[in-house]
Chain A
Amino acid sequence: MLAPVTAKGESISDMRKLFGLLGVLLAAHVAMSFIRPAGAAVAPVGDAVDVGIVFDLGGRGDKSFNDGAYIGAERAAKAFGARVRFVEPGEGSDREAGLRMLAAEGMDLVIGVGFIFTDDLTQLAKEYPNVSFAGVDFAVSVDKDGKVVLPPLNVAALKFREEQGSFLVGALAALVGGSKKVGFVGGMDTPLIHKFEAGYKAGVKAVCADCEVIAQYAGVTPEAFRNPGRGKELALSQYQQGVNVIYHASGSTGLGVFEAARTMKKMGIGVDADQYNEAPGFVLSSMVKRVDNAVFDVISRVKEKKFSGGIYDFGLAEDGVGYVYDEHNKALIPDAVRARLEALKADIVAGKITVPSSR
Chain B
Amino acid sequence: MTLLLFLAQTIRIAIPYLFAAAGGALAERAGIVALSLEGYMLGGAFGAVIGAYYTGSAWIGVVTGVWWGIMLAAIHAVCTLRFKADQIVTGVAINLFTVGITRFLLQLAFDSSSNSPRVAGFGGDNIGGALALVSNPLVWLGLATMPALAFVVYRTTFGLRVRAVGEHPLAAASLGVPVNRVRWVAVLGSGALAALGGTYLALDQHQFTDSMTAGRGFIALAAVIFGRWDPVRAGLACLLFAGAETLQIRLQAAQLIPSQFVAMIPYVLTIVAVAGVVGRSVPPAALGRTTD
Q: Using a CB–CB distance below 8 Å, which chain A residues touch chain B? A: 2-4, 7, 11, 14, 17-18, 22, 25, 29, 32, 58-64, 66, 90, 189, 214-217, 219-221, 223-224, 226-230, 232-234, 236-241, 252, 255-256, 259-260, 262-265, 278
Contact = CB atoms under 8 A, between A and B. Distances in A.
Given A2-B170, A14-B83, A265-B126, A226 B212 contact: yes
Given A227-B214, A239-B128, A252-B115, 16 more contacts: A2-B170, A17-B83, A32-B104, A61-B112, A61-B113, A62-B112, A189-B260, A223-B215, A232-B204, A232-B205, A233-B245, A233-B249, A237-B249, A252-B210, A256-B205, A264-B128
Nearest to A259: B205
Contacts of A240: 5, 129
Contacts of B259: 189, 217, 219-220
B256 interface: no
B37 interface: no
A4 B292 CA distance: 9
Contact of B207 (A4, A11, A237, A255): A255
The 6 closest A-B pairs by CB, nearest first: A227-B214, A61-B112, A252-B209, A61-B113, A223-B214, A263-B128
B211 interface: yes
A227 B111 contact: no
A210 to B, nearest CB: 17
Interface of B: 5, 9, 12-13, 16, 79, 83-86, 89, 93, 100, 104, 107, 111-115, 125-129, 132, 170, 201, 204-207, 209-212, 214-216, 245-246, 249-250, 252-253, 259-260, 263, 289, 291-292
A229 B249 contact: no
Given A14-B83, A18-B83, A259-B206, A228 B114 contact: no
Contacts of B104: 32
A291 to B, nearest CB: 15
A88 B111 CA distance: 15
B266 to A, nearest CB: 13
A256 B16 CA distance: 16
A226 B128 contact: no
A233 B9 contact: yes
Contacts of B112: 61-63
A22 to B, nearest CB: 8
24 contacts: A14-B83, A14-B84, A14-B85, A18-B83, A25-B93, A58-B114, A63-B112, A66-B113, A220-B259, A226-B210, A228-B205, A228-B212, A229-B16, A229-B216, A233-B12, A233-B245, A236-B128, A237-B249, A238-B253, A240-B5, A252-B114, A255-B209, A256-B205, A259-B205
B249 A216 contact: yes
B107 A61 contact: yes
B132 A62 contact: no
B247 to A, nearest CB: 11
B214 A230 contact: yes
Contacts of B12: 233
Nearest to A64: B114
A68 B194 CA distance: 36
Contacts of A25: 93
Contacts of B126: 263, 265
B252 A217 contact: yes
B292 A263 contact: no
B100 A29 contact: yes
A226 B201 CA distance: 13
A234 to B, nearest CB: 6
Contacts of B170: 2
B183 to A, nearest CB: 15
B291 A216 contact: no
A2 B253 contact: no
A158 to B, nearest CB: 22
B19 to A, nearest CB: 13
Contacts of B114: 58, 61-64, 252
Contacts of A61: 107, 111-114
Contacts of B249: 216, 233-234, 237
Contact of B84 (A11, A230, A263): A11
A9 to B, nearest CB: 13
B106 to A, nearest CB: 8
Contacts of A217: 252, 259
A29 B215 CA distance: 23
A229 B211 contact: no
B34 to A, nearest CB: 20
